[in-house]
Chains A and B, each alone.
Chain A
Amino acid sequence: MSDSVVRVRGVDKVFGTGTDKTPALQHIDLEIPKGAFVSLIGPSGCGKSTLLRLIGDLTQPSVGAIDVNGKTAHRARLDRDYGMVFQAPVLFDWRTVQGNVELPLEVSAKDKAVRAARARAMLALVELTGFERRYPWQLSGGMQQRVAIARALSFEPAILLMDEPFGALDEMTRERLNLELLRIWKQTGTTIVFVTHSIPEAVFLSTHVAVMSARPGRILEVIPVDLPQPRNDLTREDERYFGFIKRVRERLRGRDVARPGAAEVAAS
């Protein structure tokens, strides 16, 4: 596919050496089209976070190759193609909200006026206008995570990599942030790779759900979720939504015996 942003081909990841070897991922093939919202879901230990970190060049594959925008993942990281959001907001206590959002722009040596304007625009995008001069510890967990999202988007990365970003939040906050994330995704057109262990969250957000199995980590199937866009609170009551949840759940349990291994994401 020519419009793939991420292309993972024949990737294995083994941790440790000698007799201590643990295979984390095996035979991973995955293509992520531009503008897609792909969730990686699976039991703990299935390597979904490892796969995300491989795509982001925070760790390297033992076998295989990963291309991002037609470059190596390493090159893509150096070109600052990635925005990362982790489960913990990882905000710096010594910086204000504005300062935290400006951090990646400072690292890439953007000038001061540009940084300030970008940060303000991103904070408006996550609806935190008016909180610029606060410190992270003065914000709630949900607000901190929104700052982290604003920071990840501040330098307009081609891909947003999110590792259980809402995993530590309460259900209400999580649902609200799900909606906000979808709005931001529509507004920016960013490709998103999203790790989660919540089936409803994966189905609600994604254009594609990659279902993974553990030990060794493999992609069992990539399920396209063609629920209508834009999604909203009504989506959560749609019968087809429940259908997809059921399908993902059954796939995770391994009831479906459809072709394992091969996992091609069709363009949406």
Chain B
Amino acid sequence: MSKRFAYNAPAVLVFVGVLGLWELAVRAFGIQQFLLPPPSSIAGAFVEHFDELVTVGRNTLTEAVGGLLIGGVAALVVAFAIARWATASRALLPFAIAANSVPIIAFAPIMNNWFGILSPLSKMMVVAVLVFFPIMINTLRGLTLVDQGSLELMRSYAATELAIFTKVRLPNALPYIFTAFKVSATLSLIGAIVAEYFGGSRSALGQFIITEAAFFRFANAWAAIVVASVVSIAFFLIILAIERVAIPWHSSARIADSS
């Protein structure tokens, strides 16, 4: 307990120090509320609007998780197909690479039009398209960047393609897949909030921030940003926890254990 405290103490100290400086600077230089509210006002707004913030945070998280699942599953299926069939690779890969260069977020108004501006599905689809490419490419990399020796070994056992896939390629790809999902967790929340900026239900982080900012209630907007950050970090940590359980053999878990 005390060891753990000692380990985390520097980070906590920095956090508290920055908040303190922020508070002092705002007061000392008389910075206007609409430019930068002090942490105390943000904390006040957080307490005052706690119930509403929880609701909008949950709604946005639902969109992010839904979008990540839709985009993630699609990406896995496409990556498996591309890894399995060379023809699929030639047919799909150029489009996937081209699609990655498209600023997906520009599609948000179109998605609103297709799936309903008030429906969470329109935000989920933006997120899905946003996370598709990183997950697909990482999975593909994990499935194909397999040690040649492992493949020769399997060939020497006269292993079937299916056995090579389930016993070599898939386990080899798991760390890549988890890395992609961790990156995409953050990405999905960005996607959901930005998509909300383009219009949608009032009960979501993006719309909440826009509305509060429009009415110069910046402390409220900042409180919502804090919620967005907390939700994003929590989402990341949940995927990290799943990773630790699913692939305990991986080197990322080993380093954590030895420290």
Contact = CB atoms under 8 A, between A and B. Distances in A.
B155 A58 contact: yes
Interface string A94-120: 110000000110111000000000000
A103 B158 contact: no
B211 to A, nearest CB: 49
Interface in B84-120: none
Given A78-B158, A104-B157, A135-B249, A84 B168 contact: no
Contact of A77 (B150, B158, B167, B168): B158
A78 B155 CA distance: 9
A107 B251 CA distance: 26
State the main secondary structure of chain B at its contact with A. helix
A86 interface: yes
A137 B149 contact: no
Given A93-B249, A135-B249, A137-B254, A56 B156 contact: yes
Given A58-B155, A58-B156, A78-B158, A90 B150 contact: yes
Interface of A: 56, 58, 77-80, 82-84, 86, 88, 90, 92-95, 103-104, 106-108, 135, 137, 155, 161
A108 B156 CA distance: 11
Contacts of B16: none
Contacts of B155: 58, 77
- Of listed A92, A94, A108, A161, residue having the most chain B CB within 10 A: A94
Given A82-B156, A104-B157, A107-B154, A88 B149 contact: yes
Contacts of A78: 158
Given A86-B149, A107-B158, 8 more contacts: A77-B156, A80-B157, A90-B150, A94-B171, A94-B247, A103-B157, A107-B159, A137-B254
A94 B254 CA distance: 12
B34 to A, nearest CB: 54
Contacts of B163: 106-107
Nearest to A90: B149
B250 interface: yes
Given A58-B152, A86-B149, A135-B249, A92 B171 contact: yes
Interface range for B: 20 to 34
Contact of B157 (A86, A92, A108): A108
Contacts of B51: none
A196 B251 CA distance: 32
State the main secondary structure of chain A at its contact with B. loop
Contact of B167 (A58, A80, A93, A106): A106
- Of listed A58, A80, A82, A107, residue having the most chain B CB within 10 A: A107
B212 to A, nearest CB: 48
Interface string B232-259: 0000000000000001011100100000
A93 B253 CA distance: 12
Contact of B250 (A56, A92, A93, A155): A93
Interface in B122-160: 147, 149-150, 152-159
Contacts of A80: 157-158
A92 B154 contact: no
Contacts of B150: 90, 92
A8 to B, nearest CB: 18
A18 B210 CA distance: 67
A90 B250 contact: no
A103 B152 contact: no
A135 B254 CA distance: 11
Contact of B156 (A84, A92, A106, A137): A84
Contacts of B251: 93, 137
